[in-house]
Amino acid sequence: MAASRRTWAWPYLLFLILFVVLPLVLILFYAFTNGEGQFTLYNFVRFFHTTEAVNTLIYSLAIALITTIICLLLGYPAAFIMANADFKTPQVMALLFILPMWINFLLRTVATVELFNMFGLPLGEGALIFGMCYDYLPFMIYPIYNTLQKMDKSLIEAAEDLGADKREVFTKVILPLSVSGIYSGIVMVFMPTVSTFAIAELLTHNKITLFGSLIQRSFGEGGIAMWNYGAALSLIMLVIIALTSFFDNGEKDDSQKGGLI
Amino acid sequence: MIIEVNHVSKQFEDGKYALSDVSLSIEKGEFVTILGPSGCGKTTLLRCIAGFQVVSSGDILLNGEDVSQMPPHKRPVNTVFQKYALFPHLNVFDNIAFGLKLKGFDKATINLKVKAALKTVGLTDYEERDVDSLSGGQQQRVAIARAIVNQPEVLLLDEPLAALDLKMRKDMQLELKEMHKKLGITFIYVTHDQEEALTLSDRVVVMSEGKIQQIGTPTDVYNEPQNCFVADFIGESNILSGTMIRDKRVRFCDQEFDCVDEGFGEDVPVDVVIRPEDIYIWATDKSVQPSLSEYDPDDRVPKGKFTKWYGVVESSIFKGVHYEMIVKTENGYEFMVQDYHEFLPGTEVGMLVKPEDIQIMRKEHYIYNYFEGEVQKNGKVRFIDADWDVLPESIEGMNPGDKVKVKVAFRAIDLQDHEEEGTLSGDVHFILFKGNHYHLTIRTDEGHDLYVNTNDVWDDGDRVGIVIRPEDILIDKL
């Protein structure tokens, strides 16, 4: 049986090699070489010397951080309410949160632009943060909701029995036990928001540039010469994302990951 | 007394009463067990005392103070939960210290108290352990330590040993009893295991369907059950229909016996309870079991003017401690008898029971079911939410809409396997073997109870169709 299972794995292995391993190798190759294929660290040096590029990176990180924090502040209460409601309410609420996600995010972003225009609100940084939070809020809510829902309700009774009032029950039992959901949510919001750029272009009329745009541009214009630079930028981004994925506090497998657009 | 439960009722949204007019008082330092089958309301009662449920009516007093509206965190009680409910994000020490920290004790005091609690439950040096690394029994002890470290006035235990294996359960039972003696606090214990209840308690509260059936010491409840439910639920019993001839004289199985109960009156129908272990048994015909020729009944069977009755052994099961035998008498009664000797099927035996071992109970229902009915336009009578055909002469002179009294004998109700064959459907709710017949309680879908006497063997929960012949429906004007 094991032998035939392994043979069935070949197509997936092939897929992994072609579309994951190979591209990574290519990026590594381009990042560490110049136009002639010689090993060099020039691409990285160039990045760190271009203040504009470095600022963009820092700015992107800041935006991602702000978005994550806002999503956390909005998402936790939402997840809490959903987890504590009875029967139909969580399902209805869940549906209301999922529905927008079924619609392509570019469409939603364009619609947000129109909405802002309709209300006469200026596009720009505010619109950017609004759009990002709107897009990624469900990713914060679900892991937290999941963790809260799976929590043993008798723990709350035990805490009350031992003398905890409602506030103490929350801070001493519910909050600590939902931490794994919070970490999950943070990671699932922060990672994509670091690399996003299309939303920024739409919601700020191209006035604000995010790091993702930098990468895009180096592969769009400038010909092959910029590919090396772009690859280096991509690698930097990859490292940042890889680092954040370790920020999961060593949680167990039953948390939700993935679902990145 | 430390706890008073006064006429407490608890109704849930679906209209069902989990508790019906429950009243109970518990003395300081007592070990009281609330005993009953699943769904009888025992856990609901405990949760009402703890504060996790609010009573629908009635009140609960703790040391004279009405706590009915008090939230759980303010009550001076602590609970040991059935599934332990230990905090997974805290180690053993922090779990136990949880309540103490909330009360604001300083570190040194907390340390002392936690260590003392761990010692009491036999888990010294386990402070640093993670709770998920502990076995079931150890987790249970941590749960107990976490509760008692707060020195509550009352400790509530919700089937705490249910998740443990038999040996562990028995060990923990003894430890709990020791703890109770040592700590001196009031224990209120909930369980469905009657052996556990009899072992641990000072008093037992037997519950069924939201009502208290009997309160008494373990010996009271075992030796002197007050009704069929208690007699049937606790231990094995032989329950038969009988007649109280006069004080201290009862008739059952077509014979007269001396007994010790009085005050029932003369020629009053009663229920008789005899425990299998109280029946003395000997072989009258040893030819079937030659090995018994060595066994001289004169050694063990009490001498004196005791009524003896006779039968043939139908079956014999080895139960480890004793043999359990079913003996059938000539007039069709079956008795369960326990003895250290085995009497093989087919052996003719004699039986004897001492007067003090015969327990008499008032009959709760006798011969007839009583209902309120209404005459319908089509000549039928409506009772228990169904229309029944009746003999025309029984409603002669009555008009549609007239209210009537309906009487149907237990024996007159027929139960069908296929519910479509009956006028009404129901489930077999309670089965009581009365020696020579079964006394069943059938609960209809609308919630009415019908009592049926039958020789057919049914199972708990069987779906039945109910048939009553028109001539068996006896009608009286209201």
Extended strands (E) in B307-419: 308-318, 323-329, 334-339, 348-353, 359-362, 368-375, 381-383, 386-388, 403-409, 413-416
Element (H, E) at B296: none
Torsion of CA A124, A126, A128, A134, to 10 degrees: -150
Q: Which residues contact B38 (CB under 8 A, 6 or more apart)?
A: B192
Could you tell me the pLDDT band of residue B296, with boundaries at 50, 70 and 90? low
Tell me, what's the pLDDT at B290?
Answer: 64
Q: Is residue B231 part of a domain?
A: no
Q: How many domains are contained in chain A?
A: 1
Q: How far off is chain B from A90, nearest CA to CA, in Å?
A: 20
Tell me, what's the pLDDT at A224?
Answer: 64
Task: Render pLDDT for B68-94 as a digit per residue (tens, 0 to 9).
Answer: 888 998 898 999 998 899 999 999 999
Beta-bridge partner residues of B25: B4
Residue in B73, B81, B87 nearest the CB of A165: B73
Q: How far off is chain B from A177, nearest CA to CA, in Å?
A: 7
Q: Does B150 touch chain A (CB under 8 A)?
A: yes
Q: Which of B340, B362, B384 is the last residue of a domain?
A: B362
Tell me, what's the pLDDT at A254?
Answer: 41
Q: Which of B194, B223, B252 is the last residue of a domain?
A: B223
Q: How far off is chain A from B131, nearest CA to CA, in Å?
A: 14
Is there a contact between B245 and B262 (Cβ–Cβ < 8 Å)?
no
Q: Is residue A13 part of a domain?
A: no
Residues of A in contact with B130 (CB under 8 A): none
CATH number at residue A181: 1.10.3720.10
Cα B199 to Cα A51, B31, B173, B175, B260, distances in angstroms: 81, 11, 8, 12, 27
Same domain (yes/no): B318, B439: no
- How far is Cα A237 from Cα A196, in angstroms, rounded to an integer? 11
Q: Is residue A251 part of a domain?
A: no
Record: contact B83-A154, CB cut-off 8 A: yes
Q: How far off is chain A from B13, nearest CA to CA, in Å?
A: 14
Across the range B443-460, mean pLDDT stands at 91
Record: contact B51-A164, CB cut-off 8 A: no
Question: What ipTM describes this predicted complex?
Answer: 0.76
Tell me, what's the pLDDT at A251?
Answer: 46
Tell me, what's the pLDDT at B298?
Answer: 67
Residue in B52, B85, B102 nearest the CB of A164: B102
Record: contact A162-B73, CB cut-off 8 A: yes
Res. B109: pLDDT tops 90: yes
Sign of CA dihedral B165, B171, B173, B176: negative
CB atoms within 10 A of CB B239: 20
Task: Render pLDDT for B145-200 as a digit per residue (tens, 0 to 9).
Answer: 999 999 998 999 999 988 888 888 888 899 899 989 988 899 999 999 988 999 99
Q: Does B81 touch chain A (CB under 8 A)?
A: yes
Q: For residue A30, give its domain range.
A: 23-245
Q: Which of B192, B223, B254 is the last residue of a domain?
A: B223
CATH number at residue B445: 2.40.50.140
Tell me, what's the pLDDT at B42?
Answer: 92
Provide the token pair at B4: 């008073």
Closest chain B CA to residue A165: B73
**DSSP one-letter code for A121:** P
Lowest mean pLDDT, pick from A127-131, B214-218, B245-249, B299-303: B299-303
Tell me, what's the pLDDT at B419?
Answer: 86
Collapsing DSSP to helix, strand or coil, B443 comes out as strand
Q: Is residue B228 part of a domain?
A: no
Residues of A with CB under 8 A from a CB of B: 152, 154-155, 157-165, 168, 172-173, 176-177
Of the candidates B198, B135, B137, the one whose C-alpha atom is nearest the C-alpha of residue B164 is: B137
Residue in B51, B89, B98 nearest the CB of A177: B89
| CB-count exposure of residue B398 (10 Å: 0-12, 13-18, 19+) | middle
Is there a contact between B54 and B210 (Cβ–Cβ < 8 Å)?
no
Record: contact B81-A168, CB cut-off 8 A: no
User: Over chain B, what is the mean pLDDT?
Assistant: 89
- How far is Cα A15 from Cα A28, in angstroms, rounded to an integer? 19
Residue in B73, B83, B85 nearest the CB of A163: B73
Extended strands (E) in B319-365: 323-329, 334-339, 348-353, 359-362
pLDDT tens for chain A, residues 1 to 261: 556 777 788 888 888 888 888 988 888 888 888 777 778 787 788 788 888 888 888 888 888 899 999 999 998 988 888 887 766 766 777 777 777 777 887 888 888 888 888 888 887 788 888 888 888 888 888 889 889 888 888 999 999 999 999 899 999 999 999 988 898 888 888 888 888 877 777 777 777 778 878 887 777 766 666 778 888 888 888 888 888 777 665 544 443 343 332
Res. B304: pLDDT tops 90: no
Tell me, what's the pLDDT at B305?
Answer: 83
Tell me, what's the pLDDT at B297?
Answer: 65
Tell me, what's the pLDDT at A256?
Answer: 39
Q: How far off is chain A from B83, nearest CA to CA, in Å?
A: 8
Same domain (yes/no): B353, B379: no
Record: contact B81-A158, CB cut-off 8 A: yes
Task: Render pLDDT for B358-401 as a digit per residue (tens, 0 to 9).
Answer: 999 988 888 899 999 888 888 888 988 888 988 888 888 888 88
Q: How far off is chain A from B86, nearest CA to CA, in Å?
A: 7
Provide the token pair at B47: 């949760």
Same domain (yes/no): B75, B212: yes
Residues of B in contact with A173 (CB under 8 A): 87
Residue B434: half-sphere exposure toward Cβ, Cα within 13 Å: 21
Q: Does B72 touch chain A (CB under 8 A)?
A: yes
Task: Render pLDDT for B411-428 as a digit per residue (tens, 0 to 9).
Answer: 999 999 998 888 889 999
Closest chain B CA to residue A154: B85
Same domain (yes/no): B7, B136: yes
Tell me, what's the pLDDT at A249?
Answer: 54
Is there a contact between B180 and B148 (Cβ–Cβ < 8 Å)?
no
Task: Render pLDDT for B241-278 as a digit per residue (tens, 0 to 9).
Answer: 999 998 999 999 999 999 998 888 889 999 999 999 99
Res. B122: pLDDT tops 80: yes
Q: How many domains are contained in chain B?
A: 3
